Amino acid sequence: MIKLQNVEKVYRTSSIETLALNNINIDVKKGEFVSIMGPSGCGKSTLLNIIGLLDAPSKGQIEIDGSPVERYTDKHLAELRNRKLGFIFQSFHLINDLSVIDNVEIPLLYRNTSAKQRRELAQEALEKVGLSNRMKHFPKQLSGGQKQRVAIARAIVGKPEIILADEPTGNLDSAMGNEILGILQKLNTDGATIVMVTHDEAMAKKTDRLIRLFDGTQVS
Amino acid sequence: MLRHLFKLIWNKKGTHSLLIIEVWAAFMVLFGVLTLIVFNLRNYLQPIGFQYDQVWNLELSSNQDTTEVAAKLQRAMQRVKSYSEVVAASRMSSNTPFSANQIGNSVGYNKVNVGGDFYYTDGELFKVLDLPLKKGRWYREADLAGKFVPLVINQKMEDKLFLNESGLNKVVKIDDKTSGKIVGIVDKFKAKGVYMSDNPALFYMFRKDDRWNSNILIKTRPGTDANFEARLVKDIAMMLPGWGVEVGYLKDSRKNRDNLTLVPVLIFLIVSGFLLTNVALGLFGVLNLNIAKRKGEIGLRRAMGATESGVTSQFLGEIWVLATFSLVVGLIFAVQFPLMNVFDLDREIYIIAILAAVAIIYIIVTLCAWFPSKQAAAIHPAVALHEE
C-alpha cells in the first residue's frame, strides 16, 4: 500500500546541509497498523510528511497504492491526499472558528460532494468516534480527547484507505490516549492501513509492526 | 465552498467588524464621489447648445445715472452694431451665459407649474449664440405688438410643462398680469457650463424701451483682438459718462465656471483616494497578519486536499465575502438615493455610481488580497503544520 525505496531527505541552507532521512526502505501492506518510533529529531515527522505527500524526498521513490508519485503535479498530489490519505496530528489542527461538524466536513470541500451529502458523511464519521452529540460545538468547548476524536472523524470522513497519525496521543493523558488508540485499532480492523508516529513504547507495541529510526536512519 | 467561506467569515464577524465598517465607509464615500463624477460626466457629454467662442459680454452699469437710461442703452447698442468687427449683438439680462447670476421664475400651463431659468433678451440673441431652433422661430420686434409676451423655451421646459404635447403656439401664464406665447423651441441651453445640467429655460422678449437689462452680448469676427476691445470700451465710456463699462470673454467665463465645478470634484477625489489607500493598506496588513496566524490552517487544508491555487482562491474568496458583507450594508443605504429620488437626479446616475463603486471595491480588495493569498499558497504544508 505504501512503498518507500532508498528515500533520503536533505535540508540545505546556504551554510548547512542536514541529512534528515537516510536510505529509508519501508513497505506497508494493505490493512497493516505500523508505528514509527525514535527519539526527538530522528526524522519521524519528516518521514510521515513524505509518506503523506506533504514533502518531497531529496532522493528515492515513493509508491502509494502501486502508483509512483514522483512526477505528480500539485493538483494530482492534492487529489491523492484527499482521496487516499487521512491525517491526524498531535495538536489536532482544528479550525476554532468552525463548529465540530464544519471541521469534519473540510476534506469533502475539496471534492464534488453536495452540501447534504457532506453533512451526512460528517455525521456518520462523528458517530463513529462517539461525538454525534457535540456536532454544533466549537473546538474551544471540547476537551483534548474530544478534539482528537474530532480530528479522527475528519481524517476518516472521506473514507481514505490510509490514515497517517503523527503522535495522536502526545497531548493526551494515558486514559484518553488509550481511548484514541482503541478508535484507531477499530478503524484498522475495519480495513484502514495506519501509520502512526509515537514516542510511547506501550502504544507502539499494540500495533502490528514497529519501525525504529535513529538520526534519520532506519534501525529496525 | 462559498457556503463554507460565508460561514467562516460570519463566525469571525466580531474580529472582522472594523474591517467591514472600513470597507463600508470606503464604499459610501466612493458612491458619493462617483455620483458626482457620473453626474458631471453625463452633463459634459451633452452638447452645450450654443456657440460662445467669439462672443464677448459688454456689461454696462448706469451707476447713479437715472436719466434716459433706455435711450442711452439703445444708443450704445447702435454704436456696438456699427463696428465692422461685430457680426451680431444682443441685449440681455445679467444672467449671461457662464455668469454667476441666475434669474429663476416659474411658468404655468393647465395647472402645471414649472420652475426654470428666465433669460430676458431682445430678438437678436439667436444670431449671437447661434441657437438652433427645434420648432417654430425666434421672436421678433413685430411680436411685441401682440397681446402676449413672445417666448422661446428649451426642450426640457417643453417636456416638463406640456408633457407629451407640443408647446408651440401655446399660451402660458407667467404671473397674474402676464401671459406669454411660445413661438419657438430650442434644443439645449446649458448656460451655466458644460458640467451643468440642461435646466428648463425660458427666453422672454423685452421691449426696446427696457432700461433694466444692460448686458450686450457681442459676436465678433474671428481674429478680433484686444485693440478692438480697448477701442470699444473707450468709445462707449465716452458715450456714457459716469457709467461702468466692462468687457468679458464668454470663453474665459466658461473656464471659470468649469473650475468651480471641477475643483470640488477634485477635492472629493483626493479625499476618497486617501481613504481608499488607507483601506487598501489596512486590508493588506490584516491579510498578511492573518496568514501568519493561520499557517497551521493552511497546512491542514493542503493536507486535506487543497491545491496551491485552491489556497489562493480561498483567501481571495474570504476577502470577497467580507467585502460582500460590507457592500450589502452599503447598498441598503445607497439604494435609498434612487428610490427616494434624492437631489432630483436621474436614477441612472445613482445606479451607474453604485455599480462602479461595487466594482472598484472588489478590484481594490482583490489587489490587496492577491499578494498575501499567493504568499499563503506558497507556504510549504509540512512547514506550516510543523510551526503550529
* Residues B303-327 pLDDT 10s: 999 999 999 999 899 999 999 999 9
Rounded-to-integer distance, Cα B43 and Cα B200, Å: 14
The stretch A4-14 carries a mean pLDDT of 90
Q: Name chain A contacts of B300, Cβ cutoff 8 Å.
A: 87, 89, 93, 95, 106
B388 pLDDT more than 80: no
Where do runs of H (alpha helix) occur along chain B? Answer: 2-11, 13-45, 69-82, 125-129, 155-162, 226-239, 250-293, 295-304, 308-334, 336-339, 347-378, 381-387
Rounded-to-integer distance, Cα A80 and Cα A74, Å: 10
Beta carbons of B70 and B105 less than 8 angstroms apart: no
Mean pLDDT of chain A: 91
pLDDT band at residue A171 under the 50/70/90 scheme: confident
Q: Name chain B contacts of A160, Cβ cutoff 8 Å.
A: none
Whether residue B58 is contained in a domain is answered as no
What's the pLDDT at B387? 60
Q: Which three cell numbers stand for residue A31?
A: 490493512
Beta carbons of A73 and B271 less than 8 angstroms apart: no
What's the pLDDT at A27? 93
B35 pLDDT more than 90: yes
The stretch B196-209 carries a mean pLDDT of 92
Three-class secondary structure of residue A9 per DSSP: strand
Among residues B193, B210, B242, which one ends one of the domains? B242
Cβ of B304 within 8 Å of Cβ of A107? The answer is yes
Beta carbons of A34 and A196 less than 8 angstroms apart: yes
Of B296, B304, B382, the CB nearest to A82: B304
Which residue(s) pair with B247 in the sheet? B58
Torsion of CA A157, A161, A166, A170, to 10 degrees: 60
Rounded-to-integer distance, Cα B9 and Cα B12, Å: 5
Q: Which of A46, A87, A94, A97 to substitute to test the interface with B, most B CBs within 10 Å?
A: A97
Residue carrying the nine cell digits 478503524: A187
Is B206 in the same domain as B283? Answer: no
Whether residue B172 is contained in a domain is answered as yes
Rounded-to-integer distance, Cα B57 and Cα B55, Å: 7
pLDDT band at residue B36 under the 50/70/90 scheme: very high
- Tell me how many domains chain B contains: 2
Long-range Cβ contacts of B374-380 (<8 Å, 24+ apart): B374/B312, B375/B288, B375/B291, B376/B291, B376/B294, B376/B298, B376/B311, B376/B312, B376/B315, B377/B308, B377/B309, B377/B311, B377/B312, B377/B315, B378/B308, B379/B291, B379/B295, B379/B298, B379/B299, B380/A55
Whether residue B251 is contained in a domain is answered as no
Q: What is the pLDDT of residues B108-127, one digit of tens each?
A: 999 899 999 999 999 999 99
Q: Name chain A contacts of B8, Cβ cutoff 8 Å.
A: 95, 97-98
Residue B166 to residues A60, A98, B133, B159, B293: CA-CA distances in angstroms?
90, 67, 14, 9, 71
- DSSP tag of B207: P
B104 pLDDT more than 80: yes
Whether residue B248 is contained in a domain is answered as no
Largest pairwise CA distance in chain B = 100
Number of H helices, E strands in chain A: 7, 10
Cβ of B305 within 8 Å of Cβ of A81? The answer is yes
Cβ of A111 within 8 Å of Cβ of B305? The answer is yes
Q: What is the pLDDT of residues A80-116, one digit of tens each?
A: 999 999 999 888 899 999 999 999 999 999 998 999 9
Is B314 in the same domain as B377? Answer: yes
Is B266 in the same domain as B365? Answer: yes
pTM of the model: 0.78
Beta carbons of B61 and B214 less than 8 angstroms apart: yes
Cβ of B1 within 8 Å of Cβ of A89? The answer is no
Cβ of B306 within 8 Å of Cβ of A78? The answer is yes
Q: Which three cell numbers stand for residue B153?
A: 423655451
By the CB < 8 Å criterion, does B318 face chain A?
no
Among residues B198, B219, B242, which one ends one of the domains? B242
The stretch B333-344 carries a mean pLDDT of 92
The stretch A159-181 carries a mean pLDDT of 88
Of B12, B296, B308, the CB nearest to A74: B308
Question: Which has the minimum average pLDDT: A169-183, B25-39, B165-179?
Answer: A169-183
Q: Name chain A contacts of B297, Cβ cutoff 8 Å.
A: 93, 95
Whether residue B284 is contained in a domain is answered as yes
**Regarding predicted confidence, which is higher, A112 or A143?**
A143
Is B21 in the same domain as B159? Answer: no
Mean pLDDT of chain B: 92
- C-alpha B280, offset from chain centre: 29
Among B46, B44, B77, B85, which residue's Cα sits nearest to residue B257?
Answer: B44
- DSSP tag of B275: H
Cβ of B385 within 8 Å of Cβ of A49? The answer is yes
Q: Which three cell numbers stand for residue A9?
A: 531527505
Is B204 in the same domain as B78? Answer: yes
User: In chain B, pLDDT over 70 holds for what percent of residues?
Assistant: 99
What's the pLDDT at A103? 96
Q: Are strands A17-28 and A2-12 parallel, antiparallel or unpaired?
A: antiparallel
Rounded-to-integer distance, Cα B118 and Cα B138, Å: 16
The stretch B144-160 carries a mean pLDDT of 95
By the CB < 8 Å criterion, does B387 face chain A?
no
What's the pLDDT at B13? 81
B128 pLDDT more than 70: yes
Residue of chain A with shortest Cα separation from B300 = A93
Whether residue B77 is contained in a domain is answered as yes
Of B7, B8, B305, the CB nearest to A79: B305
Beta carbons of A193 and A2 less than 8 angstroms apart: yes
Among A115, A105, A117, A194, which residue's Cα sits nearest to residue A153?
Answer: A105
Closest chain A C-alpha to B266 CA, distance in angstroms? 43
Whether residue B120 is contained in a domain is answered as yes
Closest chain A C-alpha to B16 CA, distance in angstroms? 12
Cβ of B7 within 8 Å of Cβ of A74? The answer is no
Q: What is the pLDDT of residues A18-66, one digit of tens each?
A: 889 999 999 999 999 999 999 888 889 899 999 999 999 999 999 998 8
Is B155 in the same domain as B39? Answer: no
B202 pLDDT more than 70: yes
Whether residue B357 is contained in a domain is answered as yes
Is B192 in the same domain as B315? Answer: no
Residue carrying the nine cell digits 498531535: A90
Is B99 in the same domain as B210? Answer: yes
Domain, as residue range, for B196: 63-242
Closest chain A C-alpha to B13 CA, distance in angstroms? 10
Of B297, B303, B308, the CB nearest to A95: B297
Among residues B194, B213, B242, which one ends one of the domains? B242
Q: Which helix (H) or strand (E) holds A206?
A: none
- DSSP tag of B209: T
Is B213 in the same domain as B77? Answer: yes
CB atoms near residue B29 (< 10 Å)? 19
Among A200, A123, A188, which residue's Cα sits nearest to residue A162?
Answer: A188
Three-class secondary structure of residue B223 per DSSP: coil
Rounded-to-integer distance, Cα B210 and Cα B77, Å: 12
Cβ of B303 within 8 Å of Cβ of A83? The answer is no
Residue of chain B with shortest Cα separation from A80 = B305
Residue of chain B with shortest Cα separation from A104 = B304
Residue B234 to residues B54, B228, B263: CA-CA distances in angstroms?
20, 10, 36
Cβ of A98 within 8 Å of Cβ of B386? The answer is no
What's the pLDDT at B164? 86
The stretch B204-229 carries a mean pLDDT of 93
By the CB < 8 Å criterion, does B299 face chain A?
yes
Is B198 in the same domain as B134? Answer: yes
By the CB < 8 Å criterion, does A78 face chain B?
yes
Is B287 in the same domain as B366? Answer: yes
Cβ of B307 within 8 Å of Cβ of A82? The answer is no
Question: Which has the minimum average pLDDT: B20-24, B218-222, B375-379?
Answer: B375-379
Is B33 in the same domain as B109? Answer: no
Three-class secondary structure of residue B140 per DSSP: coil
Which residue(s) pair with B380 in the sheet? none
